[in-house]
Chain A
Amino acid sequence: MIDATGLELIAQQVRDGVDDAAVVSATYAFGDAMLEIAPTAVHPVLEFLARDADEPFDFLSSVHGVDYFPDEPRLSVHYQLLSMGRQERIGVKVRMRLEEASVSTVTDLFPTASFQEREIFDFFGVRFDGHPDLRRTHMPEDYVGHPLRRDFPIGGEPVMFTFNEVKMPRWYQGRTHSNGGMEGHSGEYKG
């Protein structure tokens, strides 16, 4: 497994191999190595780690989104890389502000990222530039908002039945735009 020194070496390799500004920080906690990189450097850094590094990580085991709200920059995408040969893992994460929530896709390097990037797009609203088929996975295709953001309310969505449909005319058109991807769901039911 990678230790704190090994992580520093990898971070230095990335700085040398890709760009000096690519690595934001390298943290070693709970026995896990995590590299934070700049949002613009996602594709080159993952390509470097997967192919050109001295000890490449050739398997992408997981991609997932995180919302660090109320910290800024709040949105984040985590990539969990794995080297099956050396049995080592390294996490790579990017953090970005809500207004510029987009990173380049890594589906050309790791086809496995396709579904998982779609899932993050669905739940967090992070756009993956160059993704061949960026559609929602879990939520309905005409759904408005990104439910796994921290400021999206739980249970704020009124359930429509025949008996209360008349009380909320044109409920399906959504409401005013507010921040946080909550547009369309004011969270209250005005009966």
Chain B
Amino acid sequence: MSTRGSDREGTSAALEVPYRERERSITLEQMERPVEGTERPRPAEDAGVDTELFTINMGPHHPATHGVLRLMLTLQGEVVRELVPIIGYVHTGIEKSCEDQSYWKVIPFVERMDYLSYYFNAQAYCMAVEKLLDEEVPKRAQYLRVIHMELNRIASHLFWLGTSALDLGAISMLWYSLRDRDMFLDLFESSSGQRLHTRYFQVGGVIEDIPPGWDDRCRRVMHQMSSRIDQYESLLDRNEIFLQRMKNVGIVSQEEMLALGVTGPLLRATGHPWDLRKAMPYSSYEDFEFRIPVGTVGDNYDRYRVRMAEMRESMRIVEQALDGLPEGPWVTANRKVALPPRHELATSMEALIHHFKLVTEGFRVPPGEVYMPIESPRGELGCYVLADGSSKPARVHMRDPSFVNLQSLEPMAKDALLADLIVCIAMLDPILGGIDR
């Protein structure tokens, strides 16, 4: 290791220890909180059975880790004594690749970071670029963005619900919620042509208006969903096994959550009503009436209730946005940023030039840097864009909520049973594509 390039020189002493040698178990002397009840006297032949610590790898290919998350666990019997998340298994260098694309070509890249909430990634990035360009987004485009983001929030929460219930052994929930998620993907396919990674948002608005009849379809889905959520709650809320495994498990205090930078449903479950849609409204969220669901205890049950309530609130927002959807353009009229309509290409020389310039070089963005946070299904999704005046961004960074929230897994699951760790991961709702980027 020591001869491995000069890069290692000058690192702190901790780094000089080879990585593999730091992967060792903690000793009993280092334990802070012994397990309750293990002090009771035991037969002599059993002594030492549950005091032995051993290190075990959970993942990266473990179905309950919701992706390629590797957890290095130190177990004492079935109790988790230490937990180290090891990530990077799906690191694909998206942030680096973005620096080599013109601004409008970056959108499909960022959509693939958090692959369950692609509309949000695109929104954060587009808003950052719009801020740099000082570009106004038409009202209709803002409403269409809100509608699609809230549909995406429900779809993302449905996926979370199905996989979380699956981790608890409720397999039918997976089929039910994925069946309903399909309705949302059908809507996305209808409005943009793609089911996943739609690239519907673009700088200055959205790529296309919704097709005729789309809003009626969307209303029907909303109507259907409201009774479906009731069904899910009646399936889960009176399930004694489900409740016992959720209630009072994985409690983390609000202060600790805030210190760990946790946002989104996890923070709201502790009773902190922090939601960027309300606190710092963007994209016309101030036009809609909705509530912020909060929990009281901050356990896994609260996290479940908060997300279920959030789905209902998202449905309210979608219905209000469909009712109030203003007429008008769905993309900015600035031809330097958005492509001209197709029909103009045949008649207008200027439109042809703009089209050619946009497709070949892309638009240039004046130098500057912005950090643009929005509320994704998992918390604060911030997009930092550094522009150097060329047609390619000098840096695109996503502050992904999954990445930051992952740090709260240790306080959640420490000194809990291994089975509770599975529930905690499920309630954390990490998306490894967003963590690793």
Contacts and interface: CB of A to CB of B under 8 A. Distances in A.
B70 to A, nearest CB: 12
Interface residues of A, number: 58
Interface in B123-170: 131-132, 134
B88 A139 contact: yes
Contact of B131 (A31, A112, A150): A31
A78 interface: yes
A74 B364 CA distance: 22
Nearest to A84: B274
A140 B20 CA distance: 12
B382 A80 contact: yes
Contacts of A127: 10-12
Contacts of A131: 12
Interface in A103-145: 110-116, 119, 123, 125, 127, 129, 131-142, 144-145
Interface stretch (A3-11, A13-21, A41-49, A60-68): A60-68
B404 A112 contact: yes
Contacts of B272: 84
A20 B88 CA distance: 41
Contacts of B404: 62, 112, 115-116
Contacts of A65: 397
A157 to B, nearest CB: 10
B262 to A, nearest CB: 8
Given A110-B259, A111-B259, A135-B15, A62 B382 contact: yes
Contacts of B99: 150, 154
B286 to A, nearest CB: 13
Interface string A80-116: 1000100101010000000000000000001111111
B5 A150 contact: no
A186 to B, nearest CB: 13
Contacts of B217: none
B436 A138 contact: yes
Contacts of A119: 403
Interface string B365-397: 000111101000000101010100000001101
B384 A62 contact: yes
Contacts of A39: none
Given A87-B280, A112-B404, A148-B95, A181 B7 contact: yes
A133 B14 contact: yes
A117 to B, nearest CB: 12
A59 B258 CA distance: 7
Secondary structure call for the A interface: loop
Interface in B329-384: 368-371, 373, 380, 382, 384
Contacts of B260: 111-112
Contacts of B131: 30-31
A73 interface: no
Given A87-B279, A181-B7, A138 B14 contact: no
Contact of A112 (B4, B371, B407): B407
Contacts, number: 132
Nearest to B134: A30
B259 A112 contact: yes
Contacts of B3: 173
B96 interface: yes
B380 to A, nearest CB: 6
Interface string A150-191: 101010000000000000000001100100010110000000
Nearest to A143: B7
A123 B279 CA distance: 32
Interface string B401-412: 001101100000
A56 interface: no
Contacts of B10: 127
B368 A30 contact: yes
Nearest to B386: A66
B259 A138 contact: no
Given A62-B384, A64-B384, A115-B407, A183 B261 contact: no
A60 B12 contact: no
25 contacts: A31-B131, A32-B370, A61-B263, A61-B373, A62-B371, A62-B380, A65-B397, A66-B384, A66-B386, A68-B394, A80-B399, A112-B260, A112-B404, A116-B403, A123-B95, A134-B11, A134-B14, A135-B19, A140-B88, A147-B93, A147-B96, A150-B394, A174-B4, A177-B6, A184-B5
Given A112-B259, A136-B88, 14 more contacts: A29-B369, A30-B370, A61-B380, A61-B399, A66-B397, A84-B279, A115-B404, A119-B403, A138-B91, A141-B19, A147-B96, A148-B96, A152-B96, A183-B7
Interface of B: 1, 3-7, 10-12, 14-15, 19, 87-88, 91, 93, 95-97, 99-100, 131-132, 134, 258-263, 272, 274, 279-280, 368-371, 373, 380, 382, 384, 386, 394-395, 397, 399, 403-404, 406-407, 436-437
